[in-house]
Amino acid sequence: MNWIATYTLLSKEVTRWRKVWMQTVLAPVVTALLYLLVFGHVLEGRVEVFPGVSYTEFLIPGLLMMSVIQNAFANTSSSMIQSKVMGSIVFILLPPFSALEMFLAFIGAAVLRGLAVGVGVFLLAYFYVEVPIENIFVILAFAVLGSYVMAALGLIAGMWAEKFDQIAAFQSFLIVPLTFLSGVFYSITSLPPFWYQLSKANPFFYMIDGFRYGFFGQSDQPLILSLAVMLSAAVVLTLGCVLMLKSGYKLRDA
C-alpha cells in the first residue's frame, strides 16, 4: 500500500466537494430539514410508531440516514463520471495507483461527505426536537457502513455510466425509490403483508432500521440481522469495485 498516494487522491476528492460546500453539504441539510418541518408538523401527535417515541423523534434518524447515504452515493458517482466525461481520469490512471488505493481514496472522501451532511442535519434538527441516543457506537457503525456501501455503489455506477443522463437515471429510478421505500417516514410493520415482505428485501431498509436502533433501542428487525446485511453488502461491493478498477472497466477507453 502506498499510503501517500492514497492520501493525496483522498485530499483531492475531499477538496472537490469541500470547495462547493453550499451545494454538497448545506443544500442536502436544508432539504432534510424541510422534510422534517413538513412531515413533523402534519403527523406529529397523529402517529406513534414506537411506544414513548414521538413521530418527529422517529423521523429524524430516518432523514439523517437518508441524507448520509444519498450524498455518499452522489459523491463517488459524480466524481467518476465527471472524470470520464472531461477526460481527467487519465491523470488518475497514469500514476502507479493500485486498484485498492484508488478505491480507498474515493470511498473515504464520499464517507466524509456523507458524515458531514449527517452531522449538519443532526445539529440543526436537535434545535427542533431533542432526540434520545441509546447507543452512540451503533449510530456511528451504521452511519459509516451505510455511507461506505452507498459510496461503493456510486463508484460502480460511475464506472458503468458513459454520460450524465445514465447516472441521473440510476439515481432517480433506483436509489431514490429504494431510499424512500425503506422506512424513512414510517415503520414497515404498518404495511400490508405483501409490501411488508417486499420491504424486507430492500437492503436500504436495514441501513435505516439499524441506525434508528442506535437512537431508541427499538427497531423493526433484530439489530444483528441489519448488521449482517450491511457487512455482507460492504464485502460484495468492495470486491466488485476493486475488480472493476483493476480491470479498468470503461476507464481505459474513456
| Half-sphere exposure for 78 (CA within 13 Å, toward CB) | 17
Task: List pLDDT tens digits, range 208-219.
Answer: 999 999 999 999
pTM over 0.75: yes
| Half-sphere exposure for 187 (CA within 13 Å, toward CB) | 17
Q: What are the boundaries of each domain within the chain?
A: 15-247
Which mean pLDDT values do the consecutive 10-residue runs of the chain (254 residues) have?
Answer: 91 95 94 88 71 86 94 96 90 88 96 96 87 93 97 96 92 90 86 88 94 93 96 97 92 70
Task: List pLDDT tens digits, range 78-129.
Answer: 999 999 998 888 888 888 889 999 999 999 999 999 999 999 999 988 888 8
The residue type found at 84 is K
Q: Residue written as cell 474513456?
A: 254
